[in-house]
Structure 1
Amino acid sequence: MTAIPTARRVARAKLVEWGWDVDDEPALDVLLVFAELTTNAIRHASKPGDVVRVLLDETDGYCRIEVLDSRPDLPLLAVQAGGNDEHGRGLLLVRSLAHAMGEELAATTKKVWASVRVADALGRPRCL
């Protein structure tokens, strides 16, 4: 499945194009959220031939990640993943890193989005 690594490379390239240091914590958070949302859409909410659309937008100190897929059902947030489970933590990670997160349903599609704070109110990069 080459779509997932390709999507990750495109997101990373977009952050570099914006002038971000992709090794800094805010960029790593955005890339992790992007990877989790995109992977969920490709693995769990699409079938071969379906189009999954992604959007990255940076505005007012936040980076919004949107992923649109062709399944109008809500993603499932795992309540508890076992210690040996390989899956089930992605949306928990997104929720812990995101300032806000949500879903928008239509008749035949779903958009899952998350907003990650990347700068303070003065526009300075976020440092933890």
Structure 2
Amino acid sequence: MASFGSPTGRLRVLCSHGDPALLTFAGELDVGTVLVVVKAVAAALAGSGEPRAVVLDLAGLHFLGAAGVRVLSAATDHAAAQNARLRVVTGGNAVVCRGLRLTGAHRVLDVYPDRAAALAAGDNGEFLRLTARMWNS
């Protein structure tokens, strides 16, 4: 388990590598701490086993700014470029849910209400099989 944090201590990340890799965030995700997210996601994607999914648990955040939402979108794109899927856990956190809803990010990010649902979600292949069944029925 690795740990990342901002120099000011405003954002902390605990990383558990595996498939899916799990990144648990606590603190403030804003313009001053977005590089912590970038480094943590990059490390999870570069970790052994090349995860097909990275789960970002944001339940411990007490602030989510617009720059934080933008970095989540960029991290999703970065993961997709490496054939991985980024999953975002709100944990029922009102701050996180509100930030994602106000920016419309809840419509484009792969958002889950709790960690168990995100960890249990299927892989990209399962999603594609389900979509094909829906279109062909």
Q: Give the TM-score taking structure 2 as reference length.
A: 0.30
| TM-score normalised by structure 1 residue count | 0.31
Name the structure where helix makes up a greater proportion of residues: 2
Larger RCO, structure (CA 8 Å, separation 6 or more): 1
